Structure 1
C-alpha cells in the first residue's frame, strides 16, 4: 500500500469579520502537537492579523502585498515551494485568505500548478459565515463565491440572530451550496476533528460551482470595497479614543465592514486590541509592550465608500 506523502492544506475563507482569526486560533490550539504552517493574507498593507494569532507550534507567513487570489498567486506558489524544501517537515498548511478573496483561484493553484500539486493537496475549504451581517452582503460577488466553494460552512455568531432568522439563513445557504456540511456556532467553537483531516474537498463539487475552474483565467476584483490604514507613533488618549469610536460605530457603522487594530494608549502599560464589524465593536487589553518594542498605534478600516480624510482627522483628534 503506497503512503500518501502530500501535505494537507486547509483553506479558511469568509467575508470580512466573520471570525476567521478566532477559528484559526482554535484550530492551532487543537493542533499544538503538529507542525503547522500558517499563511495569512490581509486586505491592505498592514500586518495586524499576525498579532492576533496565538503562538503555538506554527510558522506564520504573511502575504499583504495584495489579494492572494489575484496578483500574489506567484508569491503563494513560491511560499509553498519553500515550505516543502524545509528540513523540518511540516504536517499541514492552513491558509487564511483575506475577506475579499474569491477562493476559486486559490483552489485552482493546488489543482493546476504541477509543482504545488505534486506536494500538496486540499484537505478542506472552510467558509465562515457571519450570521448577523451576511444578509447585507449576499448580493456582493465575494461572499457568494466563498459560500459556493466551501465543503464546510461555519455559520458563526448564531447567538446574535433569532430562530426564525436562523431558519431563513439555513434555507438560503442550502440553496447556494447544498453539498457543504454546515455547522452553527458561537465564537467559532466547533470540534476541530470535524474540520481538519477529513479530506472533504471534492473537485467535482467545485467544478459544479465553476465549470471553468480548471482553465487558467485571470481573476479581477470589481468591488467598491477599499481599505485604509492609519499609523501613529505618538500616544493616544483613552477618553478621546472612546468618543471617536462611539461616533464611528453609530454614524459610520453601515459602511465600515471591518475595522481592527492595536492602539498605544498613554494611560495604559498594555496594548489595546480592538475589532469591529459594522456596528458591533469590542476592545480588550493585549500583551504588555516589550522593553525594546516600538510603541505604535496601527488601525485598518475596510469598507464601502470610506472617507479617508475624515478618518485621518478623527484619528488625529485622539492624540493625547
Structure 2
C-alpha cells in the first residue's frame, strides 16, 4: 500500500514505568531520527519527562502537562498545528516525523480518533491543515513483563494500549534469569493475542528501534472489532463533550478512576541522600501498589551540581541515575507522584518530616497513606529521634 505524502505521526504508549523514555532516547540517538518532532504528554502539573529525553540539534520537544486523552481531542491537533506553523515560519527546524509519547495512564481512543479524517464541511483551518499535513503511521506499546499483567488487571487503559498497538515491545526481559520466568516470557506473545490478535510482538533486546517507527499505514480494521467500537463510541462522546462543555473547559470529564491523581513535591535546597532514600523507602512500604509511579530529578548535598534521576513503580525502585549537570536552569528538586487512593498532603508532610529530621506525630501523617503504617510510624519516630540527637 502506498504511503501518504504527509508527515507520519507515531504514538508511543505503555503503562507507567514500562520504559517509554528509555526507548525514545535510544531512537533519538540515531542520527537518522534527528529531524523528529517529539510531543511528550505527562500526567501531572510539573513536567519531568522532557528533561530526561535526549534533544539533538534538530529535535523539537513539545511538553504538555495534564492528560491529552482527558483534555479532548483538540489538544493533540492543536499541538500538531503549532508544530507545523512554527516550522513553516522558520521559527523551528523542519521535521519529517512526529513521535507522541503518551502518558502511561493515557487512553488511546481519543488520540487515535483525533487523527482520523474529519468531515471537511465542518472543519476549521487548523483541522484542514492537520489532515493535509499529518497521518497516523503507527502505534507502539511497551509491555512491562514484571508488572504488565497486574496493570492490565487493574487499569483499563493498560489493556486498551495493548489493543490499539500495531507493534508491542516486551520490556525488562533482561531482568529474567530463572528458567520459569524465561518460560513465561516465551508464552507472553500468545497471552497478549487475547487482547490483540494481529500486532507484531518483539522482545526489547531484539527490537530495532528504527523499524518500530518506520512509516506504515495504521489500520483500525486490523486492530479488531473492539477497537473499532471504542473509536465509534469515542466519536460520539467527543461530539457530546464539545456540545455540552463548549463554554466551560473546566467541566471536561476525567477518563481515569476517581482515585487516580498526580501531585508534585518541589524542594529548593539540596538534600541528604540517606534521608531521601528513607523517605522513598517508607513511602513504598506503606503505599505499595497504590504508588503507581514516582519520578523526579533531585539535588543532593554531596554533589549539588550533579542531580540524580529517581524512578519507582509500586514496590520497584530503580537505582538513581547520576547526571553530569542539571538539564536546565532550574536547580530545584522536582518529584512527581501518580497514585491511586492516596491523598497528597500526608505524603508531603512525610517528606517534610523526614528531610527536616524533626520528630513529628507520624501516626497522623502516615495513617492516611495506608492501614499498614502503624508499625512504620514507631520505626520512623525512632529513626528521626536518633537523627535529632546526632545533630544536637
Measured at CA, do residues 36 and 166 of structure 1 come closer, stay the same or move farther in structure 2, by a change above 3 Å?
same
Answering whether residue 284 of structure 2 is matched by residue 249 of structure 1, we say yes
- Residue 355 of structure 2 corresponds to 318
Of 151-160 and 204-213, more deviation after overlay is shown by 204-213
Structure 1's 237 and 124: CA in aligned 2 closer, same or farther, altered over 3 A? same
Structure 1 residues 169 and 3: alpha-carbon distance in aligned structure 2, compared to 1, 3 A threshold: closer
Aligned CA-pair RMSD: 2.3
1:184 to 197, 203, 214: 203
Q: Distance in 1 between matches of 2:344 and 2:187?
A: 36
**Which stretches in structure 1 are left out of the alignment for 5+ residues?**
none
Contact 2:74 2:114 in 1 (8 A): no
5 Å-filtered alignment, 1:187-198, equals 190-198=207-215
CA distance in 2, matches of 1:38, 1:297: 24
Once residues 220 and 161 of structure 2 are traced to their aligned partners in structure 1, the CA distance between those partners, rounded to angstroms, is: 15
Map of 1:210 onto structure 2: 227
- 1:78-89 equivalences in 2 (<5 Å): 78-85=78-85, 86-87=87-88, 88-89=93-94
Quick one: distance in 2 between partners of 1:222 and 1:246?
27
For residue 193 of structure 2, give the secondary structure of its aligned residue in structure 1: helix
Please tell me whether the aligned partners of residues 237 and 319 of structure 1 are also in contact (alpha carbons under 8 angstroms). no
CA distance in 2, matches of 1:196, 1:260: 26
Higher alpha-carbon deviation: 149-158 or 243-252? 243-252
Write the mapping of 1:14-33 to structure 2, written as runs, cut at 5 A.
Answer: 14-32=14-32
Q: Quick one: distance in 2 between partners of 1:17 and 1:31?
A: 26
Distance in 2 (alpha carbons) for counterparts of 1:310 and 1:258: 17
Identify unmatched segments of 5+ residues in structure 2.
Answer: 119-126, 239-253, 358-392
CA distance 1:16–1:157, shift in 2 (3 Å): same
Residue 299 (1) aligns with residue 338 (2): no
Give the number of the structure whose residues are more often strand, by fraction: 1
The counterpart of 1:258, out of the listed 293, 317, 320, is 293
In structure 1, the partner of 2:150 is: 136
- Identify the residue that residue 249 of structure 2 maps to in structure 1: none
The partner residue of 2:321 within 239, 262, 284 is: 284
Cα drift, residue 160 of structure 1? 3.4
Q: Give the distance between the partners of 1:319 and 1:265, measured in 2 at CA.
A: 14
Ranked by relative contact order (alpha carbons within 8 Å, sequence separation 6 or more), the top structure is: 1
* Aligned mates of 2:292, 2:184 — CA distance in 1: 21
State the distance in 2 between where 1:214 and 1:171 align. 28
| Cα displacement string for residues 127-171 of structure 1 (whole angstroms, at most 9, x for unaligned residues) | 011110012121221001000000000110123340232244332
Distance 1:96 1:210, change over 3 A: same
| Residue in 2 that maps onto 1:201 | 218
Distance 2:143 2:39 in 1: 20
Instruction: Provide the residue aligned with 2:141 in structure 1.
Output: 127
Please state which structure has a larger fraction of its residues in helix: 2
For this pair of structures, how many residues does the alignment match? 315
1:177–1:227 CA distance, 2 compared to 1 (3 A): same
**Other structure's SS at 1:270 match:** coil
Kindly name which structure, 1 or 2, has the bigger radius of gyration based on alpha carbons.
Answer: 2
* Stretches (4+) displaced over 4 A: none
The residue aligned with 1:7 is 7
In the alignment, does 2:275 pair up with 1:240? yes
Cα distance, 1:307 vs structure 2: 3.7
